[in-house]
Structure 1
């Protein structure tokens, strides 16, 4: 009995430690996502209070980056189509933050224990980064399309207009903007806005 109890406690602790390995069931409905994962709402509200980035903008960006999968990674690269060459980048977790930018966030916020596969840390990271875009680039915190472009290209890249040469990225960013508006309307309808 003691072994079973210890195993149950260990399993509970392990399950709380990292990000979910599967996406919520209905990614097209913000209310369903928050209904299935209520702790997301608490994290999004805290990020919105701290950094001023609305929850629907954060949710649309997380959807694009990881589909709400906590341990998401970029695909592998292959030489000659068959020889594995590692991953496309160091992007990881809900926010798909790369190593260097994640380290910048941890230093700037003094949140040295932050993990990319924990939703609250990933949401806070996105809020911090998007707040930098609002402050340094003059973007609106409600402009999910432009914030996504700055998030993807980096603040300096966005400032140089690197996104303007990437029609595929402009389409993706427009989709993020549309999803953000959809999520906002849904959150208003279910009283979570």
Structure 2
């Protein structure tokens, strides 16, 4: 293949990957207020959240609470476009994208730290939950916020670790209220999960107790 064919090949592969993940993206859960029902509808999401917790330490319930408030479980969520002259769709206010609404700079840092690849995308729940866990792991390590403190973790997630250190949220009562809602949902999800988690630990045909608990 001549050199000028390589960019075309890369474009085709990128387009194929985008279409593949777009077409296969699951619908948001029918009952997003109950984590047991979320995992019953999408049992593989439990595996992803559990793997992220094992790797990075953020509890499953906290991960799901972040995704609920970031994207409402919509795989291709983006901030709405601004309007030029109040009527013409214009640019988006941020580069936030996907389940976790990861910004371009943070996502690039995540890829560099964990291995870049064609198929590591923000629209895949597995990668989004791993990103949330990775980001909170760095927040815990750099700022000392406990991984069982979803309110402060979310403030650092939303404002960035630098913004959190400068207490930028002090001037944003709406963000403080949002962080409290994230905390309340995380605690509610955690209470719900205690009643149903065992059914997701052995949901595949080749898994059986006690080796999958």
Q: Does 1:64 align with 2:102?
A: no
Q: Secondary structure at the match of 1:175?
A: helix
**Displacement after TM superposition at 1:129 (Å):** 0.4
**Displacement after TM superposition at 1:20 (Å):** 2.7
TM-score of the superposition, structure 2-length normalised? 0.80
**Distance in 1 of aligned mates of 2:19 and 2:85:** 39
Partner of 1:143: 149
Partner of 2:197: 191
Partner of 1:9: none
Partner of 1:73: 78
**Distance in 2 of aligned mates of 1:14 and 1:101:** 20
Are the aligned partners of 1:21 and 1:71 in contact in 2 as well (CA < 8 Å)? no
TM-score of the superposition, structure 1-length normalised? 0.88
Q: Does 1:27 align with 2:32?
A: yes
| Count of aligned pairs | 181
**Where does structure 2 lack aligned partners over 5 or more consecutive residues?**
1-16, 202-213
**Distance in 2 of aligned mates of 1:116 and 1:181:** 25
Q: Does 1:17 align with 2:21?
A: yes
Q: Does 1:40 align with 2:45?
A: yes
User: Where has structure 1 moved over 4 Å in runs of 4 or more?
Assistant: 13-16
Partner of 1:4: none
User: Which residue, 125, 129, 132 being the options, matches 1:123?
Assistant: 129
Partner of 2:158: 152
Partner of 2:184: 178
Partner of 1:7: none
**Where does structure 1 lack aligned partners over 5 or more consecutive residues?**
1-12
Q: Secondary structure at the match of 2:82?
A: strand
Alpha-carbon RMSD across the aligned residues, in angstroms, is 1.8
Q: Secondary structure at the match of 2:197?
A: coil
